[in-house]
């Protein structure tokens, strides 16, 4: 949603969020997914570091299929109004 609003790409948004000095607020960079709901990777890495991103997202309540896509029932855009 952020990249769509800015007319940018998800990877650019993830990079910007990873450099956010106020991280993890408001949006931690691990919450950036690709536009087709694929988990994506950290810094373009879709092999070695993706396990950690997936584990964080699953702890936050997301579910993934065997190929790394968000479960269809959870693919609706969600916006967070408050952060813990």
**Could you say which of 10, 14, 17, 29 is catalytic?**
29
**Counts for the chain of helices (H) and strands (E), in that order:** 3, 0
37 as an active site residue: the answer is: no
What would you report as the CA-atom Rg of the chain, rounded to the nearest whole angstrom?
Answer: 12
Catalytic residues: 29
């Amino acid at each position: 949603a952020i990249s769509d609003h800015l007319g940018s790409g998800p990877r650019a948004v993830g990079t910007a969020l990873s450099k956010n000095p106020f991280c993890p607020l408001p949006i931690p960079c691990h919450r950036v997914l690709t536009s087709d709901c694929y988990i994506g990777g950290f810094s373009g890495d879709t092999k070695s570091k993706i396990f950690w991103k997936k584990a964080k997202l699953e702890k936050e309540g997301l579910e993934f299929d065997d190929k790394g896509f968000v479960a269809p029932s959870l693919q609706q855009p969600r916006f967070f109004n408050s952060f813990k």
